[in-house]
Every structure is written in C-alpha cells, then in structure tokens.
Amino acid sequence: MPTLSPARTPLPRAAAPATETTTGRPARSRRSCTTLSAARRCRACHPLADRGANRTGPNLWGVFDRQVGTLDAYENFSDALKAADFVWTPDTLNAWLADPRGFLEGNEMAIPEAVPENERAPIISFLMIETGAVDWPVPENAFADAQADKSKPPAERFPSFWNHLMTNTSRYRWERGEEELKFDAYFNTDGSIDTSIDGMNGFWHITDKDFFCYALKGMPVDPGNMVECFPIAAMAIPRFAEELWTSRPYDDVSLHGGIVPGRPQQGG
Ligand code: HEC
C-alpha cells in the first residue's frame, strides 16, 4: 500500500488503456477514467472547494489535518464520527476508504463498497490537491473562468498547462518486469506527438470533459502502442521533474512520466 505524503504526492493516475488501437485511435474502454469517476463519486456528496456549502456530506476543503467529525458548519455528523478521536491524514483516509463500514463502526457515510486499492492512492492525491492539503494553487480556482468558456482555444483556457507541455520535453520510463524503455515525447500544438525514437509518434486531443488524451504508436515494446487520458485540471500547475507521475497503460506496465525543461531543436 503506498504511503502518501504531501512532499511527493503522485498525480491522479491516468485512465486505463484502450485495448484496441490498431487504427491508432483511442478506442473506448469501459475501464477508462476509473479514477476520476471515483473521485466524482466523492463529489456527489462532498464539496471540495474552499467555502463550498455542505451537501449530504461535509465539505472536505482542509480535511487533511482536521480532527474527525468537527467541521462546525456541518450539522449531521453521526455519533460515530463525533466520538472518534483522530486527525484525517492520507493514511486514516486510506483505511476508511478500504473499509467504509468497519473503520468507524456506525458511521453514516453510505458508500456501497470499499474503494479498490488501486483507486485509493489516486483519489487521495486528487483530494489533497483539490482540498488545499498541498502547497500549490488549486488549479480549478486558478483557471475557473477561462476553463468554463469552451469556445476559447485550450491555449487560453489552460495557459500554464499548454505552455508547459508544448514547449518542454515529456520524459517517460516504461517498465514491465525486466523490460525498460526510456523515451522523450514532444507534444505539438497541431495535435501531433514526436518522440526521441525513430518511427514512434502519436497524436493527442482534449475531450469535452477536459481530459487530455493521447496515443503513441510505433513503440518498440509490445503491443506497440498505448493510449492514456488524464484530467487537465490535475496538470495545470507547471512542475519539472524526471518522474512526476506513474500510470499504468497496461496491467503489467508502469509508465513513469515527467517533464524536463526545453526540447531539442527540430531536426537536431
Ligand atoms: C453518498 C454520499 C457520500 C459519498 C459518495 C461519499 N461520502 Fe464521505 N461522507 C458522507 C457523509 C454523510 C459523511 C458524514 C458521516 C458521518 O457523520 O457518519 C461523510 C464523511 C466523510 C469524511 C469525514 C469528514 C470529517 O470532517 O470528519 C471524509 C474524510 C469523507 N467523507 C471522504 C469521502 C471520500 C474520499 C469519498 C469518495 C471516495 C466520499 N467521502 C464519498 C457522505 C458521502
């Protein structure tokens, strides 16, 4: 089980891969976007933003480091939560999501089943970002107005994301057992993707739900292609590091990704 700390919060994991990519187009996968839809389930009952009004459940803004069952503005805490005595941390939240019924016997958070292990770390890191637990601007607040206006081009709606991705190098390390493939990718404003490997390239697009989806083909590893989607809101704060996130484009593959400054001159 991963231990999370604000200092090295992984980004929400990108969606699972499409299985059929012979055309190079992202095929629809029933598993895609699992993590985000899971986080949306929390949102159905919990506002996440600062000063958001409580819904069925308490507002989760600032929940990390908060004593359980104490948010004054929320009047419906069960006795179980009021009587409990601990502070919410990634670990306590992880334990609760792993066992929503048993962790705090008698609680009234009516989620039907445990959140699967592979979704918990991404959900928790997503919540840390969204609820102010980590020290960076909240992407949605920062770009809320521009994001809302879909008639504008992505460069205007998500300027920092756009500039970051389109001018720098995305660095990847593909890992499957002993197999390792390192490559750099260059996302271009025209929707194409070049890479540091001959014959390997791809394309990207932004969905109407503001997911950034991309496909790579001609990869020198099986099955030669991959597709991934991630929510742009989670990527809106430009950061540089060789390995910023890990995703799982295939069940047996860990894909470590990061962004490093600049990119080689064309043809160089
Ligand atoms: C069906 C509505 C519902 C959904 C969905 C839901 N919650 Fe809750 N949540 C509640 C309610 C109601 C409470 C208060 C429970 C109580 O007092 O027993 C609560 C309490 C909490 C608390 C305690 C807050 C505090 O201040 O002590 C946390 C943390 C939390 N939920 C996280 C989550 C996460 C993370 C998800 C998504 C995986 C989620 N919840 C999904 C309804 C929901």
* pLDDT for 22: 34
What does pTM read for this prediction? 0.52
Answer whether 128's CB lies under 8 Å from 64's CB.
yes
Can you tell me the distance from the alpha carbon of 203 to that of 211, in angstroms, rounded to the nearest whole number? 14
Q: Please state which architecture CATH assigns to domain 37-136.
A: Orthogonal Bundle (1.10)
Residue 83 Cβ inside 6 Å of ligand 1? The answer reads: no
Q: How far does Cα 66 stand from its chain's mean position?
A: 23
**Confidence check: pLDDT of 24 > 70:** no
- Mention every residue, 6+ apart, whose C-beta is less than 8 A from residue 10: 2, 4, 121, 122, 125, 245, 246
User: pLDDT averaged over the chain?
Assistant: 78
Residue 112 has pLDDT above 80, yes or no: no
- C-beta separation of 175 from 209 below 8 A: no
pLDDT above 80 for 144: no
User: Ligand 1 atom closest to Cα of 84?
Assistant: 27
User: Does residue 200 line the site of ligand 1, with CB under 6 A?
Assistant: no
Shared fold status for 10-23+144-260 and 37-136: no
Tens digits of per-residue pLDDT, 221-248?
A: 999 998 888 777 766 667 787 877 788 8
For ligand 1, whether the C-beta of 123 sits within 6 Å is: yes
Least confident residue range of 127-136, 219-228, 249-258: 127-136
- Measured CA to CA, the distance from residue 216 to residue 218 in angstroms comes to 7
Question: Which pair of structure tokens corresponds to residue 254?
Answer: 């860990």
Residue 6 confidence (pLDDT): 34
Q: What's 10-23+144-260's CATH class?
A: mainly beta
Give the span between the Cα atoms of 268 and 265, in whole angstroms.
5
Q: Is residue 231 within 8 Å of residue 210, measured between CB atoms? A: yes
Determine which residue's CA is closest to atom 1 belonging to ligand 1.
110
Q: What local confidence, expressed as pLDDT, does residue 17 receive?
A: 36
Is omega for the bond preceding 223 within 30 degrees of 0, making it cis?
Answer: yes
CB 172 within 8 A of CB 186: no
Percent of the chain surpassing pLDDT 90: 34
Q: Which two tokens stand for residue 250?
A: 């295939």
Res. 52: pLDDT tops 80: no
- Tell me what pLDDT residue 227 has: 87
Domain definitions of the chain by residue range: 10-23+144-260, 37-136
Q: Is 71's C-beta closer than 6 angstroms to any atom of ligand 1?
A: yes
- How many CB atoms lie under 10 A from the CB of residue 264? 11
Q: Is 188 exposed, middle or buried (0-12, 13-18, 19+ CB in 10 A)?
A: middle
